[in-house]
Amino acid sequence: MSTVDVNGTPICYVEVGPSGGTPVLLSHSLFFDHTMFDELAGLLAEQGYRVVSYDQRGQGANLAATRDEVSMDALTDDPATRIGALGLGRVHVVGNSLGGFVALRLAARHPGPLISAAAIGSSAEEEHSLAAFAPL
């Protein structure tokens, strides 16, 4: 596992496949880590893709993140910064559940480096403010 500085925070990631392959960035579900994509990453690498899977802030090897450091804005900005820091160029982004939400937000807010964005088991619903959940 390697780390890259992302917006002032070290973020852990794993990279497999040829360095010259088309990059695929994998974004995991809430309460998981990059290992949820191990099998998929291996299959994509066998097909010649350069695959980067990472642990979200506050999850996996990045548990040291404080509550203030973990927000949807940070989770969205992190992969945008990571793409540049790792020299990935244009990428496919694939996310599951929370990772899918991150992929969709990334496509909306930082579309430049994306070839495509895929959300698996996720939602494209409007974001709600925390105040909307106060009655619960």
Taking only the tens place, the pLDDT of each residue in 74-122 is 777 778 888 888 889 999 999 998 889 889 989 998 899 999 999 998 8
In a domain, 18, yes or no: yes
Distance CA 79, CA 10 (A): 12
In a domain, 116, yes or no: no
Q: Given this model, what pLDDT does residue 119 score?
A: 93
| Residue 62, both tokens | 């990045």
In a domain, 28, yes or no: yes
CATH number, domain of 68, equals: 3.40.50.1820
In a domain, 102, yes or no: yes
Taking only the tens place, the pLDDT of each residue in 40-80 is 999 999 999 999 998 887 666 666 666 667 677 777 777 88
Boundaries of domain holding 73: 2-110
**Total count of domains within the chain:** 1
Q: Given this model, what pLDDT does residue 126 score?
A: 64
In a domain, 127, yes or no: no
Q: Given this model, what pLDDT does residue 89 score?
A: 92
> Average pLDDT for residues 126-133, to the nearest whole number?
60
Dihedral sign of CA atoms 43, 117, 11, 62 in order: negative
In a domain, 115, yes or no: no
In a domain, 96, yes or no: yes
In a domain, 100, yes or no: yes
